Structure 1
């Protein structure tokens, strides 16, 4: 017993109560982290991997819109929510597709599939401005094409049932919609940072983690919460693609919400994770 009590005392005092913060916390790392990306890297424009990554973002966002908008249209066309997959099914379609597509493209482009995610990672210096802009353009083009293919399957039903466009629903104000988009995107982008954090992977190396899984699950949960409010955007490319193909006033009236909200949410997540969470070390130098 005496030996065990001594072990407890040593363990209790092994780590000092005061921990360094900020830049002082970045010493004595037991993990390897890539250096911050440059603001502009001309060599990227001469690399095939740069354009391959953009093509991967285009194709992933195309497939994302194709599957998810078709699911929304199937629910809208049904005589009742009980005769279709309902809101839960829509949420599963969005979350499941993100899980699958991030898994497929993470090793090529990082699997962003969302300008808000790209923006948040850019603020954290995870990619250059050149790559960020290129990704956003390809994501938007992919979303437009994905929604366009869905409309091609049935123009009249597509237009009658709203085309999967995001709008602030009746009973909610524009402020409600903006708040829902900010918080929803914060949840998503914060999950992205946490799931791909080199520090977390080193600390929790005994816990197997598949990054696409928590990211897809975050998308699923956010959709469950905010579909009744805005139809859930949290992805400017998704909202823009559906609005351009649907091309009706209601979709354009609230479009600013589905860009401003996600970008604010992504910026807040980047600040919170990089400055607050990452400033506290998980290992003492003692």
Structure 2
């Protein structure tokens, strides 16, 4: 027996009217490599991640240089810088590359077959290069303070175990990627077309909230490119000690979010073929 989904308050009736499930992206799509849209998408990811690291790491450096938190924007300001930049950059690049700006987001969307392996790998490379360049420009502006104040590199804070840091990164990335899936769900857009939904807003707000929660634990990575860029430019021993956490955690969190969205929220493997 097929049971209909319940209708949430404030939404139109849930039906398949005017909606068709988009086909999964092919694993390999060689034709992409000869397409200008493929290359400009990668360039857009590079520039977006460059700007993301430039603004956010510069904000972190400003807070670190202040004599105390009250003399600067503090943790809340750092969280707003990260969330606000994601909001702006996703808004600017969503129509070109999808506005991932994060290898974990790209990985989650790849697992859900929203893009090919070719494009996913290309995006991740360009995101990491953009992050390295963004952090490098910040260091170029203030080389000595950058090195003495930590360079915005992610580390597990004193008083927390590596397991705590890993857990914070997994859950934080789950929140982000789950929000990305929900905000960009094609079926939801078709069903609730009468409700204006600005996808970058909930994504940026999720980044802001996760930073508020986890800055005291790991400085908040949830983005391997962001963590890699700062670690490479800062390049001191303790920045690399816990670096694996900022790759393993986000990738696990992204995979769990993709699995949850596909199996529970969308129930795609259990859809009736009739």
TM-score, with length taken from structure 1:
0.88
Whole-Å separation in 2 of the counterparts to 1:49 and 1:166: 33
Alignment match, 1:211: 199
**Per-residue deviation, 1:204:** 2.0
Match of 1:238 among 215, 218, 226: 226
Alignment match, 1:32: 20
* 1:116-135 to 2 correspondences below 5 Å: 116-135=104-123
Q: Which deviates more from structure 2 when the two are superposed, residues 58-67 or residues 206-215?
A: 206-215
Whole-Å separation in 2 of the counterparts to 1:18 and 1:80: 58
Whole-Å separation in 2 of the counterparts to 1:30 and 1:52: 31
Match of 1:145 among 129, 133, 152: 133
Alignment match, 1:202: 190
Q: Deviations over 1:151-179 (max 9, x none)?
A: 00111100000000000000100000000
Alignment match, 1:18: 3
Match of 1:114 among 80, 102, 112: 102
Q: Deviations over 1:189-246 (max 9, x none)?
A: 0000000001111222222100000000000000000000000000000000000000
Whole-Å separation in 1 of the counterparts to 2:26 and 2:170: 27
* 1:180 and 2:180 are equivalent in the alignment: no
Q: Which has the larger radius of gyration?
A: 1
Runs of 4 or more consecutive aligned structure 1 residues displaced over 4 Å after TM superposition: none
TM-score, with length taken from structure 2:
0.92
For structure 2, the 5+ residue unaligned runs are 6-14
Match of 2:152 among 164, 170, 174: 164
**Per-residue deviation, 1:17:** 8.5
Alignment match, 1:268: 256
Matched residues, number: 262
Whole-Å separation in 1 of the counterparts to 2:65 and 2:42: 34
Superposed CA RMSD in Å reads: 1.9
Question: Partner of 1:164: helix, strand, or coil?
Answer: coil
Whole-Å separation in 2 of the counterparts to 1:242 and 1:156: 15
